[in-house]
Structure 1
Amino acid sequence: MTYTDLFENDDMKLINLLPQDGEAYYHGKIVDTATADMYLAKCLSELSWEHDRAFIYGKEIVTKRKIAWYADQPVSYTYSGYTKMALVWPNFLREIKQRVERECGEVFNSCLCNVYSTGEEGMSWHSDAEKDLIENGVIGALSLGGERKFSFKHRQTGERKFSFKHRQTGESVSLVLAHGSLLIMKGATQKNWLHSLPKTKRDIEPRVSLTFRQMRF
């Protein structure tokens, strides 16, 4: 898949990556490399990272992946049976939020930040449909650092492959998220689709994912 495959040929309009039951748009790189490098360095050194925790079948799991949670106000957020307390935006993260908002025309009030130190850290199939999020809201994911594969799978028929380039009917799709790029998920995507960040044994630089969200305050 190439960057130009993600646009209509006539007017370079962004098109939906998902063939049905949801909306996902890849904007490509929205900041230049130097700015993306600066944002990555600030995220790694200045955000309050901690290992993520989740309750699975009544057992607490501590992941290798680290997270940091920020919002307009110090609110709590619960997913995977674990409650996190948000910190208020540092100035540089608020600046990134505003860039993302200008690019996609949406407004976000919170951000779940994720850091993947190596390719052996990833995320299994899941959706972001927690009760604290606005139903059918928008999630804007800005990727910084090492390029990683990102995959979607339809909840009902996800094993049938979907070729985005040739626009064949099907229910799964993957793409590579570039340094400084933006992916938007909206509409019924979280109800009908799962997404994942597959692990890889390839030598990959650390990656930060800033997932800007719309919470119910």
Structure 2
Amino acid sequence: MFSGVQHILLEGGGLDYYADYLADPQALYTELRETIPWEQPLITLYGQQHQTPRLLYFVGDAGLAYQYSGIRHATAPWPKPLSQLRDRLLAETGYDFNCALLNYYRDGDDRMGYHSDDEPELGDSPCIASISVGAERDFCLKPKSGETKMQKINLASGSLLIMLPPTQRYWQHALPVRKGVTQGRINITFRKLL
């Protein structure tokens, strides 16, 4: 069982961080890495197409689809371990998620730039629950207002980070390159599409 929560207050939002939410994160990492049919879609930036700098997969309830950065993800069925995690999150946090976007960072060169999970289909003030397994990586936040206040959290393997409403409205987050990291990391971001 996990030991407790660290509450991180932000102007216009907040985070709840559980460093040891999963008892055996390596087993989940290995299962997902080996069984998920990972994809690397093309995105268009400044008129040029590039492959995403990480691998992706989208799971959820039947009939859902999720679109961001010009990529439309049709829903794949919930794998059993992710369905169990969703049920656990509902029981322990009260948040009812109907989909999850999985990101597989193969090493420290794979990354995600600054963005907010604020697509219209997520509603006005979404809650995002993020479980990390594999290599530890830095999770960075900065205000959308352009202020220089930044936050950085080292996400441990087996950790849960909940970005509470209305954090997405006021903050952006990123997973920058981390040279020297040779192990992969999988991040499962639970969401609720309206």
Tell me the TM-score normalised to structure 2 length: 0.91
Aligned ranges 1:79-90 → 2 under 5 Å: 79-90=68-79
1:26 aligns with 2:17: yes
Aligned to 2:169, the other structure's residue is in SS state: helix
Indicate conservation of the 8 Å contact 1:16/1:23, yes or no.
yes
1:16 aligns to 2:5 (yes or no) = no
Tell me, yes or no, if the aligned pair for 2:36 and 2:57 is still in contact at 8 Å: yes
Which range moves more in the overlay, 73-82 or 176-185? 73-82
- Measure the CA separation in 1 of the matches of 2:42 and 2:86: 25
- State which drifts further: 137-146 or 68-77: 68-77
For structure 1, which runs of at least 5 residues remain unmatched after alignment?
5-11, 160-170
User: CA, structure 1 residues 94+129, in 2 after alignment: closer, same or farther (shift >3 Å)?
Assistant: same
Q: 4+ residue stretches of structure 1 with deviation over 3 A?
A: none
Quick one: distance in 1 between partners of 2:36 and 2:151? 32
Change over 3 Å in CA distance of 1:71–1:132 after alignment to 2: same
For residue 158 of structure 1, report the CA deviation from its aligned partner: 3.5
Secondary structure at the counterpart of residue 121 of structure 2: coil
Determine the structure 1 residue equivalent to 2:132.
143
Specify which of 135, 143, 166 is matched with residue 188 of structure 1: 166
CA shift in 2, pair 1:137/1:41, >3 Å: same
Aligned 8 A contact 1:17 1:173 in 2: no
Matches within 5 A, 1:35-184: 35-159=24-148, 171-184=149-162
* Greater C-alpha Rg: 1
The count of corresponding residues between Structure 1 and Structure 2 is 192
Post-superposition offset of 1:13: 6.3
Which residue does 1:212 correspond to in 2?
A: 190
Tell me how far 1:104 sits from its aligned partner.
2.4
* Distance (whole Å) between structure 2 residues aligned to residue 50 and residue 80 of structure 1: 15
